[in-house]
Amino acid sequence: MNLSEFQSEWMPRFDAYLYSELDAYVPSQENLHKAMAYSLMGGGKRIRPLLVLATLSLAGGEISDGFAAAAALEYIHTYSLIHDDLPAMDNDDYRRGRLTSHKVFGESTAILAGDALLTAAFETLAESSVISADKKVKLIGLLAKASGPNGMIAGQMDDVEGEKKTLTLEELKQVHDKKTGALIRYAVTAGCLIADADEPFTTEMEEFSRYLGLAYQIHNDLKDVVLDEAETGKTIHHDAELNKNTYPSLLGVTGAIQELNGVIHQAEDCLDRVALSYGDAEDKINVFRQLLDYVRI
């Protein structure tokens, strides 16, 4: 199975689940529902939920058992984008080629839509009927850690404070390990946990996800300087305007591309080791190999 086949088979089912959950949680507040749905259905590759489902598949679990964890993750990722675009943060007018939430609905509604998606994430997980109680407790705790003051929010705070100074390369990696990497690692961890994967498999896949998260951020930084707005769906050169620390600003474009290629190679090494231990799963591993194509320049 390749990535395209996996997406065609499973992502429409996941999207249907995602939107049905949203309808169940917000039946009466029309403006709130519109604002939440606007960002949730605004495009994107659904990388994080796809990682949950693909990891479940690779680990031999029931793929649909991961829908609640994948939805919770996508809700949190979407809330973070809404808040990240606000005037008090990055002040972006466009996201994925469309006006950002606060430009369409106003700042107050955008903030509330983000807050609602954040809390809906934990409700979705808590009310799952196919995940055991002990696994739900673990998944909720891990998601709170990945998205909160020890994970994504910590990385966001470090990113904001970093605008006032020049970070070293190692400091920048630590920022993005939390800001971008924490939720990507959670996706793989959740899939392993739900599928009862063994420890060696879980360790190797979590290492893969760490490199994937880093590659994703380097690629994102490079898009701001080497692609145009039609390709990115966002205002380009915005990082430089905000004095953000990025891989191109520290290493130059050529150096950042070299760093990206090195990280991708490390991720591929992880998959090679998984393939050696689980030789009959190479077909499913191809999904992860092809995911790396998203972050190549």
Q: Which of 3-17, 62-76, 112-126, 277-291 is predicted least confidently?
A: 277-291
Find the mean pLDDT for residues 90-107. 93
Model pLDDT for residues 14-58, shown as the tens digit of each residue: 999 999 999 888 877 789 999 999 999 887 889 999 999 999 999
Q: Quick check: helix, strand or coil at residue 221?
A: helix
Instruction: Look at residue 271 in the predicted model and tell me its pLDDT.
Output: 96
Instruction: Look at residue 287 in the predicted model and tell me its pLDDT.
Output: 95
Please indicate whether residue 132 or residue 283 has the higher confidence score (pLDDT).
Answer: 132
- Cα–Cα distance measured from residue 135 to residue 190, given in angstroms and rounded to the nearest whole number: 9
Asked if residue 240 has pLDDT above 80, the reply is no
Instruction: Look at residue 229 in the predicted model and tell me its pLDDT.
Output: 45
Asked if residue 239 has pLDDT above 60, the reply is no
Place of tokens 């407790």: 137
Q: How far is CA 180 from CA 24, 39, 97, 215, in A?
A: 29, 18, 21, 10
Mean per-residue pLDDT of the chain? 91
Find the mean pLDDT for residues 129-144. 97
Instruction: Look at residue 14 in the predicted model and tell me its pLDDT.
Output: 97
Give yes or no for a contact between 181 and 207, defined as CB atoms under 8 angstroms apart: no
**Residue 198 neighbours by CB distance under 10 Å:** 12
- Cα–Cα distance measured from residue 269 to residue 242, given in angstroms and rounded to the nearest whole number: 35
- Cα–Cα distance measured from residue 74 to residue 279, given in angstroms and rounded to the nearest whole number: 31
pLDDT band per the 50, 70, 90 thresholds, residue 230: very low
Find the mean pLDDT for residues 285-297. 94
Dihedral over alpha carbons 159, 189, 290, 219 (to 10 degrees)? 0
* Domains of the chain and any CATH numbers: 3-295 (1.10.600.10)
Asked if residue 241 has pLDDT above 60, the reply is no
Phi and psi based region of residue 233 (left: phi greater than 0; alpha: psi -120 to 50; beta: remaining):
left
Highest mean pLDDT among 13-22, 64-73, 153-162: 64-73
Q: Which of 76-80, 99-103, 234-238, 253-257 is predicted least confidently?
A: 234-238
Q: Which of 85-99, 104-118, 200-214, 251-265 is predicted least confidently?
A: 85-99
